[in-house]
Amino acid sequence: MLDIGLQELIVILIVALIVFGPKKLPELSRAIGKGLSELKHTLEGVKEEVETEFKESTETVKEELKETAERVEAELRETVGTVKEQQVEKETEETEKVVEKKTGAEGGGKDGRP
C-alpha cells in the first residue's frame, strides 16, 4: 500500500512531535490507530460482500448457460431427427421410382402388358 521506509517514518514522527507536542501525540496515535482499524474492518466487510455477490451471480450464469445448452441440444436432436426422416423419405421415393422404372421396363407398360 504505502511504501514508507524507516528513514521516512522517523522524519514523520519528528515532524508530528514538533507540530503536536509530546502531550497530544499519544492521543493522536490512538485516534489514527482506531481509524485505520475501522477502515480495515469496513474494507474486509465490503470485500466479503463483493465476493458473495460474485459467487451468486456466477452460479446464476452457470445455471442459465446449462439450461441454454440443454435446450440447444434438444433442438439439435429434434432437427437431426427431422433431417434423417426427410432423408429416409427421399431415399424411399427414389427407390420406389427406380423399382417402378425397372418393373415398367421389364413388364412393358404400367398395366403389365408387353
Q: Residue 98 and residue 96: Cα distance in Å, rounded?
A: 5
Q: From the DSSP assignment, how many helices (H) and strands (E) are in the chain?
A: 1, 0
Q: Within 10 Å of residue 16's Cβ, how many Cβ atoms?
A: 15
pTM: 0.47
Q: What residues contact residue 101 under an 8 Å CB cut-off, 6+ apart? A: none
Residue type, 11: V
What would the pLDDT profile of 76-111 be if each residue is shown by its tens digit?
999 998 988 999 899 999 999 888 888 877 665 555
What would the pLDDT profile of 29-56 be if each residue is shown by its tens digit?
899 899 999 999 999 999 999 999 999 9
Q: Is 101 helix (H, G, I), strand (E, B) or coil?
A: helix
In the numeric block, which cell numbers belong to residue 7? 528513514
- Mean pLDDT within 11-25: 85
- Mean pLDDT within 1-12: 79
